[in-house]
Structure 1
Amino acid sequence: MIMDLKKLEEKYAVPSRELLEDVKQIEGDIMLLGIAGKMGVSMGKLLVDALRAVGKDNKVYGVSRFSDPKAKAQVEESGVIAIACDLLNDAELFNLPEVPNVIYLAGHKFGTVGNEDFTWAMNTYLPGRVSEKFKNSKIVAFSSGNILPFVKLNQGGVDESGTPEPIGEYAQSCLGRERIFQYFSKKNQTPVLIYRLNYAVDFRYGVIMEIGKSVLQGNPIDLRTENVNVIWQGDANEIAIRSLLHCESPAKILNVTGPETLSTKWVAEEFAKLLGKPATYAYEAEGTALLNNASECHRIFGYPKVTIREIIELTAQWLQEGGEEFGKPTHFQERGGQF
């Protein structure tokens, strides 16, 4: 392949000056719970690289069941201390090391239908157990823009003051996760930041890659949800780490995404130009979308550094050259909450 994965990661996963300045202020060890998902492995590496670059020796732990040995090997290669743990097992959870800083990435989305009880256990019950275990820590807790209502495009995205209207059991359980972290933040005076994300993208997965792949393969693109928000995974990782300095009690809610309200059709047409193939479409736009107003995030952390045009161009080249994919579709077109 012309595009070398390691060189790409070196270019797009180098800690920024802002991240380096902030990790200097992070006191104590850091634990990433649920590190083996789409973002966790790269986040752990970024954090280790940033700490090393500023001469700090904070330990970084990565916790997961590690059902895939490859994921554990990747975690360990980056300098993260991997701990195999079933977080739903109280004995294993409460045996984890005490750390001052926790980034909570654990959750369950795809396969919710038919497995609703496990989804609620992971997304709503487990946050309460984690909150008790790490009541003396700062916690950045990942949540989802799926809890927000569909809004008309001329309204703009929903900010942190908006009233949640989750559709389907996955989104309902995510709201449950937020409420549980909020409850224990008040009860135990635990500083928490609820990191409400949609959608992180990388050249190997996410909304942008899925649209580009559809254009490349000649598959029609569903236009019912014609607009989306996205943010480059590396920028999202940096914001998650830097958020450890912004945890509060009561919990602070922070919407995290890019600044644009993107047209799905515009993204497809950009891919059509780059790939030399026509974009085709299915269905009519329904005039509403799950849109996230992240202006507070941009005020605190600045705008994301990787632009949407860079993301599209990089993804188009990666797809043309047959690059690997994570194989985890977003189902961003889903409007009925069925995951």
Structure 2
Amino acid sequence: MDWQMRIEDEAALEDVLSIPDEALRADLAAVPGDLLVLGAAGKMGPTLCRLARRADPARRVIAVARWSEPGLRERMEGWGIECLSADLTDRAALAALPDAPNVVFMAARKFGSTGNEALTWQMNVVLPAMVAERYPTSRIVFFSTGNVLPMAAVNGPSPDESARPGPVGEYAASCLGRERVFQHAGAARGTRLFGIRLNYAIDLRYGVLHDVATKVLAGTPVPLAMGHANVIWQGDANAWALRALRHADAACPIMNVTGPETVSIRWLATRFGALMGRTPEFTGTEAPEALLSNAAWAFALFGYPRVPLDRMVHWVADWVQRGGRALGKPTKFEVRDGRF
């Protein structure tokens, strides 16, 4: 696809993030029926819902959240999405939600985990168990994180799906717990499931690229201890999550989802400096290991991401330099001890 050179504003950004392709339309056609998205008001949920709606305008798409962001519910309803309000941790509220043959589970807790570990485990382990009990006959795609994997040598192979998990910190451990309770639902009840181990989705308003570009523009030193990362355009990650509904199975396959490059943070900052007329500053040195994952299986099943890395870099540089809105949700990609 021939992507535009600039994304002017948030309306244009949300449009670009939700452009479907024929592969998505074909895979959704294989899983007919309503789509229920739980935890739909986060960074990725709104455009995932819109993407599904645009790919199949006749399908009922139901978004469930608490709707704390002003105007978001109304904006999504304007896209033709049915929005319901519910506290998913309330069993009565969960039971009252409509049945649906297709479910995408996006509710999770990361930031603020340190110091409130009990709530993190409630959201990341207990709630998934409740959802699996509520929707035993549905296809369920759920999001996990590459944080469940061990750090890998930058100059060696990155872990694929066969790697033994090695979570660092309670957040990562609780996300492994989420995977395990969904796997148990598949084994115990035959629920068809598919897990998405995501490594750093990119939107112009947040993400590793946004974090680095913002520091370069401000003259703030870019931390190098976690010197490499994997990234993927949010629109591609959402498309693959929706396409995964077709592949949901009681065996609960769990897939690494990220881009093909091992991105050097130093290179990234230098690239942003060249685009924005700044000389980046750095702090620390690159460790020999980083949080990386091998997404070869995803590429074999879904193809390579549609939006290439350098296009994302140009978009983010332009957005940040023009003062485009930020969500105020740093990725904390530089954290190595698992304390979020």
TM-score, length basis structure 1: 0.96
Following the alignment from structure 2 to structure 1, what is the Cα–Cα distance between the partners of residues 277 and 167? 39
Q: Is the 8 A contact 1:2 1:321 kept in 2?
A: no
How many angstroms does 1:237 deviate by? 0.8
Q: Does 1:177 align with 2:175?
A: no
Q: Is the 8 A contact 2:7 2:319 kept in 1?
A: no
Letter in 2 for 1:72: R
Following the alignment from structure 2 to structure 1, what is the Cα–Cα distance between the partners of residues 171 and 306? 31
Counterpart for residue 117 of structure 1: 118
Q: How many residues align?
A: 335
Following the alignment from structure 1 to structure 2, what is the Cα–Cα distance between the partners of residues 182 and 273? 46
Structure 2 unaligned spans of 5+: 1-5
Q: Is the 8 A contact 2:76 2:83 kept in 1?
A: yes
Following the alignment from structure 2 to structure 1, what is the Cα–Cα distance between the partners of residues 8 and 101? 39
Counterpart for residue 306 of structure 2: 305
Q: Deviations over 1:283-312 (max 9, x none)?
A: 111110010100000000000010110000
Compare 61-70 and 97-106 and name the one that shifted more.
Answer: 61-70
Counterpart for residue 332 of structure 2: 331
Of all paired residues, the percent bearing the same amino acid is: 43
How many angstroms does 1:73 deviate by? 1.9
Q: Deviations over 1:10-51 (max 9, x none)?
A: 345311121122222221101110001000001101111111
Structure 1 unaligned spans of 5+: none
Q: Is the 8 A contact 2:17 2:47 kept in 1?
A: no
Match of 1:47 among 30, 37, 52: 52
Counterpart for residue 283 of structure 2: 282
The 1:313/1:58 distance shift into structure 2, 3 A limit, reads same
Partner secondary structure for residue 82 of structure 1: strand
Q: Matches of residues 1-339 of structure 1 in structure 2 within 5 Å?
A: 3-52=8-57, 57-339=58-340
Partner secondary structure for residue 256 of structure 2: strand
Following the alignment from structure 1 to structure 2, what is the Cα–Cα distance between the partners of residues 136 and 275? 51
Following the alignment from structure 1 to structure 2, what is the Cα–Cα distance between the partners of residues 130 and 309? 38
Following the alignment from structure 1 to structure 2, what is the Cα–Cα distance between the partners of residues 180 and 291? 24
Following the alignment from structure 1 to structure 2, what is the Cα–Cα distance between the partners of residues 5 and 265? 28
Following the alignment from structure 1 to structure 2, what is the Cα–Cα distance between the partners of residues 155 and 100? 41
Counterpart for residue 3 of structure 2: none
TM-score, length basis structure 2: 0.96
The 1:2/1:304 distance shift into structure 2, 3 A limit, reads closer
Letter in 1 for 2:161: E
Q: Is the 8 A contact 1:156 1:291 kept in 2?
A: no
- Return structure 1 stretches of 4+ with deviation > 6 angstroms: none
How many angstroms does 1:8 deviate by? 4.0
Letter in 2 for 1:299: A
How many angstroms does 1:319 deviate by? 0.9
How many angstroms does 1:2 deviate by? 8.6
Following the alignment from structure 2 to structure 1, what is the Cα–Cα distance between the partners of residues 281 and 185? 48
Following the alignment from structure 1 to structure 2, what is the Cα–Cα distance between the partners of residues 92 and 150? 39
Following the alignment from structure 2 to structure 1, what is the Cα–Cα distance between the partners of residues 281 and 135? 50
The 1:170/1:164 distance shift into structure 2, 3 A limit, reads same
Following the alignment from structure 1 to structure 2, what is the Cα–Cα distance between the partners of residues 268 and 37? 27
